[in-house]
Amino acid sequence: MKYKRILLKLSGEALMGDRQYGIDPARLAEYAEEIKEIHDKGVEIAIVIGGGNIFRGVAGASNGMDRVQGDYMGMLATVINGMALQGALEEKGMLTRLQTALKIEAIAEPYIKRRAVRHLEKGRIVIFGAGTGNPYFTTDTAAVLRGVEVNADVILKGTRVDGVYTSDPEKNADAVKFDTISFEDVLKKGLNVMDTTAFTLSQENELPIVVFDMNKKGNLLKICEGQNIGTVVNV
pLDDT given for residue 41 in this prediction: 97
Distance between CA atoms of residues 113 and 42, nearest Å? 21
Residue 61 belongs to some domain of the structure: yes
* Statement to judge: residues 121 and 23 lie in one domain: yes
Strands 177-178 and 164-165: what pairing?
A: antiparallel
- Residue that finishes a domain, picked among 116, 145, 174: 145
My answer on whether 188 and 102 are in the same domain is no
SS3 7: strand
Using an 8 Å Cβ cutoff, are 21 and 205 in contact? no
Q: Is residue 4 part of a domain?
A: yes
The per-residue pLDDT for 84 is: 97
3-state secondary structure of 89: helix
**Torsion from C-alpha of 165, 170, 174, 177, nearest 10 degrees:** 20
Torsion angle of the four alpha carbons 133, 137, 143, 144, in this order, in degrees rounded to the nearest 10: -120
Number of domains in the chain: 2
pLDDT of residue 65: 87
Domain edge (last residue) among 145, 180, 203: 145
Assess whether pLDDT exceeds 90 at residue 111: yes
What pLDDT score does 66 carry? 92
Residues 133 and 40 in one domain: yes
166 touches 176 (CB < 8 A): yes
pLDDT score of 181: 96
Q: Is 168 labelled a binding residue?
A: yes
For residue 234, pLDDT over 90 is answered with yes
Residues sharing a CB contact under 8 Å with residue 33, sequence separation 6 or more, in sequence order = 92
CATH code where residue 33 lies: 3.40.1160.10
Which residues lie below 8 Å from residue 218, measured CB to CB, with a gap of 6+? 34, 37
125-129 and 96-100 beta bridge pairing: parallel
- Per-residue pLDDT, 63: 82
**205 annotated ligand-binding residue:** no
Q: Is 123 within any annotated ligand binding site? A: no
Clarify whether residues 34 and 105 are in a common domain: yes
| Same domain? 180 vs 92 | no
- Which residues are 177's β-sheet partners? 165
> Distance between CA atoms of 56 and 43, rounded to whole angstroms?
31
Instruction: Report yes or no: 179 and 186 within 8 Å, Cβ to Cβ.
Output: no
User: Is pLDDT larger for residue 15 or for residue 57?
Assistant: 15
Does 12 belong to an annotated binding site? yes
Residue after which a domain boundary falls, among 104, 120, 145: 145
Each residue of 148-171: pLDDT tens digit? 999 999 999 999 889 999 988 888
Q: Is the pLDDT of residue 98 over 80?
A: yes
**What pLDDT score does 164 carry?**
94
Q: What is the mean pLDDT of residues 94-119?
A: 98
Distant-in-sequence, close-in-space partners of 67: CB < 8 Å, separation ≥ 6: 57, 58, 60, 61, 135, 136
- Cα–Cα distance measured from residue 80 to residue 24, given in angstroms and rounded to the nearest whole number: 13
Domain interval for residue 108 = 1-145
Residue 204 lies in a domain: yes
pLDDT at 57 over 90: no
Is 133 annotated in some ligand binding site?
Answer: yes
pTM greater than the 0.85 cutoff: yes
Residue 132 marked ligand-binding: yes
In the prediction, which pLDDT does 235 show?
82
Q: Say if residue 203 is in the same domain as residue 170.
A: yes
Asked if residue 211 lies in contact with residue 159, where contact means CB atoms within 8 angstroms, the answer is: yes
Residue 153 located in a structural domain: no
Range with the poorest average pLDDT among 15-19, 116-120, 176-180: 15-19
pLDDT tens for 63-76 read 888 999 999 999 99
- Residue 48 pLDDT greater than 80, yes or no: yes
Q: 182-209 pLDDT, tens per residue?
A: 999 999 998 988 999 999 999 999 999 9
* 169 appears as a binding residue in the annotation: no
* Domain presence at residue 54: yes
The reply, when asked if residue 138 is annotated as ligand binding, is yes
Question: Is 152 a member of any domain?
Answer: no
**Strand runs labelled E in 23-90:** 44-49
Please report whether residue 89 resides in a domain: yes
The reply to whether 134 sits in an annotated binding site is: yes
How many helices (H) and strands (E) the chain has is answered by: 8, 11
Which pLDDT score, from 0 to 100, does residue 171 have?
87
Instruction: Judge if 125 and 186 occupy the same domain.
Output: no
Q: Residue 59: in which H helix or E strand, if any?
A: helix 57-62
Asked if residue 199 belongs to a known ligand binding site, the reply is: no
Backbone angles phi, psi at 20, to 5 degrees: -85, -25
Tell whether 11 is in a known binding site.
Answer: yes
Quick: pLDDT tens for 209-219: 999 999 999 99
